[in-house]
Amino acid sequence: MIKVGIIGAAGYGGGELVRLICQHPEAELVSLTGHSNAGKHILDVFPHLRGYTDLMITELDVDYLAAKADVVFLALPHGHAVATATTLIEAGVKVIDLGADFRFNDTKIYEEWYKVEHTNPNLAGEAVYALPEIWRESIPSARVIGNPGCYPTSIALGLYPLLKAGLAELDSIIIDSKSGVSGAGRTPSSTVVYSECDDSINPYKVASHRHTPEIEQSLSRIAGGDIKVTFTPHLTPMTRGILSTIYAKLNVKGLAADIQKLYEDTYKGEFFVRVLPQGVYPKTKWVAGSNFCDISVKLDTRTGRIVICSVIDNLVKGAAGQAVQNMNILFGLPENTGLKQVPMFP
């Protein structure tokens, strides 16, 4: 059994990790840590887990984790993962960071967008940015994994076949993404309380969202050329889910290609990516509670643009589920081990 520790277990991402690991046939929880909730039973924070675990949430004890765990998930705000990850890795423990601290090999980009000094650039340079469907070959040997963000996951999976085949103009990509309020975390704020967000939708952090450099890093790596995107996120009055609608101008080669077939062929062997039939467009409800990403593509013949629609559950494929998928790869298990949950509907 893989011995698992979760740091930051009381947040939404941490709670999803607990839920998934409790159902994982090859993993066992050995430690749940948190600061403000230390001393509480996990059931006091997440009553829906009753009958699945009896662990208490404790203050972080890195030495205990280093002795007991094979892998530790860090579900912490940016800027809080580096010191703990460094100690765990030196002790031989695998680390999967759900935050932003290890998503950039170039720490100058991280510092520019997150306004926090990165205290271990060498470890950041070693870290593997692990979106399995695209870069799984680099995952098995990793000591520290930067788990992709939720928006970047939906966008990279949506554009991967098109960019890998060189069918799009790289200077014309526009992304409109909509996220449920759980993406803002569990800390109360005026923007996500019911009376503020219900029956309303709004753009936020226009042309300034911190996921922008991560999106551009991923897409540039796929395309083999520098990409800048226009990315506008929106807060939507739902709990879970991300819908990314992506617009890209096709080049001459792209206009002549069968884009539907390209997507179906690219993702043919992928358990977690479902390319929808032509004329069927995804809903966030269709992936809720699951690690699936549903994708549709449509050519607008009037404009020569391809319209790609990609949906994920932001807490699962956009966070905890993808982290468990990466853990499975690290330990030589089938990627869908413990992740075969059928989406919830309605």
Active site residues: 150
Distance CA 132, CA 286 (A): 21
Nearest of 172, 167, 171, 170 to residue 256 by alpha carbon: 167
Q: Which residues contact 246 (CB under 8 A, 6 or more apart)?
A: 155, 158, 159, 173, 174, 175, 176, 307, 308, 309, 310
Q: Would you say 179 and 268 are in contact if contact means Cβ atoms under 8 Å apart?
A: no
Distance CA 84, CA 295 (A): 37
The DSSP code sequence of 196-261 is HHTT--EE-STTT-TTHHHHHHHHHHHHTS----EEEEEE-SSSS-EEEEEEEEB-HHHHTS-HHH
Phi first, then psi: give them for residue 121, nearest 5 degrees: -60, -30
Nearest of 295, 290, 273 to residue 132 by alpha carbon: 273
Q: Tokens 């002549």 — which residue?
A: 256
Joined tokens for residue 2: 């893989």
Q: What is the three-state SS of 17-75?
A: HHHHHHCCCCEEEEEEECCCCCCCEHHHHCHHHCCCCCCEEECCCHHHHHHHCCEEEEC
HSE-CB for 90 with a 13 A CA cutoff: 10
